[in-house]
Amino acid sequence: MVIEIDFNSDEAIYVQLMNQIIMGIATSRLQEGDPLPSVRQLADTIGINMHTVNKAYSLLRQEGFVTIDRRRGAIIAIDVDKMKALEEMKQNLMVALARGYCKNISRAEVHDLIDEIFDEYGIE
């Protein structure tokens, strides 16, 4: 998996790293059980601090995207708690939809955008 960090972005590096791993899972580039690079290895490859990678991995673990084992490292392990995931998604969507509403984005445009994203993931 190739991780690309935009060092000029206003978005924190650990957030960019997390988002790219989540997108890798959503697009099936990363599968349940796949190991992620060690903290040191990924930090060296990208050219960032090990603490930044560790923070991203820890947050991914808290959100149920990975498990962390001292011997095996970080492993993709998707949380099966669907109700919790739906509630978190609802909260995030409420804010995103409110922002769109303030910018006069219509319901039809939102539906089209969601369909486009689901098509990218290959989801029916």
- Which structural domains are found in the chain, ordered by start? 13-76 (1.10.10.10), 82-121 (no CATH)
What is the value of pTM for the model shown? 0.73
Spell out the residues 6+ positions from residue 7 whose beta carbon is closer than 8 angstroms to its own: 13
What is the Cβ-side half-sphere exposure of residue 59, based on CA atoms within 13 angstroms? 14
Residue-wise burial string across 54-79, b where 16 or more C-beta atoms lie within 10 A, e elsewhere: bbbbbebbeeebbebeeeebbebbee
pLDDT at 86: 84
Distance, in Å, from the CA atom of 52 to the CA atom of 4, rounded to the nearest integer, reads: 14
For tokens 């993709």, name the residue.
76
Q: How long is the chain?
A: 124
With a cut of 70, which residues of the chain have pLDDT below it?
Answer: 80, 124
- Find the distance separating the first CA and the last CA of the chain, reported in whole Å: 25
